[in-house]
């Protein structure tokens, strides 16, 4: 502390930069996870619709 001076805030600025990087990477991870879960949910919904349509087709085709 004596060598760098009384008003040296370099440690504070480095800590703030590390915190900002950690925050950005955290939000990035949250965004990627949310996006992946959203895509999985859409894929499951599409598969369910396809299964319902296939079952309805099988029922309708068996009547003829």
pLDDT in tens, 9-30: 778 889 999 999 999 999 999 9
What distance in Å separates the CA atoms of residue 30 and residue 33, rounded to the nearest whole number?
Answer: 5
In DSSP notation, 1-64 reads -TTT-TT--HHHHHHHHHHHHHHHHHHHHHHHHHHHHHHHHHHHHHHHHHHHHHHHHHHHHHT-
Position with higher pLDDT, 6 vs 33: 33
pLDDT in tens, 25-53: 999 999 999 999 999 999 999 999 999 99
Q: Phi and psi for 63 in degrees, rounded to 5?
A: -75, -20
**Encoded tokens for 40:** 């999985």
Q: What is the pLDDT of residue 5?
A: 62
Q: Whole-prediction pTM value?
A: 0.64
**In this structure, what are the phi and psi dihedrals at residue 12, rounded to the nearest 5 degrees?**
-65, -45
């Amino acid at each position: 502390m004596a060598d760098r001076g009384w008003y040296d805030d370099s440690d504070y600025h480095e800590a703030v930069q590390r915190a900002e990087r950690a925050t950005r990477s955290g939000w990035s991870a949250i965004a990627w996870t949310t996006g992946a879960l959203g895509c999985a949910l859409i894929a499951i919904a599409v598969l369910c619709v396809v299964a319902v349509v296939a079952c309805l087709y099988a029922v309708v085709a068996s009547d003829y």
